[in-house]
A = this chain, B = another copy of it.
């Protein structure tokens, strides 16, 4: 029995949803509504003490961290491999998934939080908001919520995040000059990791990712959008977004 706790098919939730769909394994979907702060509900914190999505539950064992979940899926369901067979290419794939987790995603995340959180919480009174904060298990996440709710990320930090996103996209573009897929000749977890960040970009970050500046990223994005697993994953959205339905 395989269960996935996840939010909408975006960012880290998308990363593991897409992996499961590519594998073609059946799983029970548990929607955790981040807009309702359900990831901090005591019942969910019992599943993942960090209060974060996604989390995979396999025959009762909990696996957290989207990148670790995807490696786990490869370990237990080796059919339809998403890890390159060649160990050198596989290492390259891991450098990519690591890069997404340590560089690309944190930069994108700050920019997203800066945009999204304030409208999400401004209907709350200060007391209500503090009560929401108090339930967040990780201090770092509490700090990030507070900063995002007040939109007090320093402009210097936001500018640096935007720069990092551009560095990331250029790095993907360069990789796609050398091979059809990001980590080499075959589709892999590296493509899934990057797509989990880049899926909305052709529509929402046109100044960064577009036909002129990043033609290979655009072509790769279009090929990603054609994959049945991507379509199935986006079809799971409770609140579908325009970028899930078409390429730019």
Copies of this subunit: 2
**Cβ contact within 8 Å between A63 and B75:** no
Give chain B residues whose Cβ lies under 8 Å from the Cβ of A168. none
* A120 neighbours in B (Cβ, 8 Å): none
A91 at the interface (CB under 8 A from B): yes
With a 10 A CB-CB cut-off, give which of A58, A65, A101 has the most chain B CB atoms: A65
A22 within 8 A of partner (CB): no
* A67 contacts B by Cβ under 8 Å: yes
Note all chain B residues with C-beta closer than 8 A to A67: 94, 98
Whether A63 pairs with B88 at a CB distance below 8 angstroms is yes
Chain A residues 60 to 79 lying within 8 A of chain B, measured CB to CB, are 61, 63-65, 67-69, 71-72, 75-76
Given contacts A101-B102, A102-B101, A102-B102, contact A68 B87 (CB under 8 A): no
Q: For the complex, would chain A's binding face be called helix, strand, loop or mixed by DSSP majority?
A: helix
Q: Report how many residues on chain A are interfacial, defined by Cβ distance under 8 Å.
A: 21
In-complex Cβ contact of A76 among B64, B69, B87 (8 A): B87
Q: Taking the nearest CB of chain B, how far is it from the CB of A58, in angstroms?
A: 7
CB of A98 within 8 A of CB of B65, answer yes
Q: In the bound complex, how far is the Cα of B105 from the Cα of A102, in angstroms? A: 12
Centre residue among A64, A67, A68 by max chain B CB count within 10 A: A68
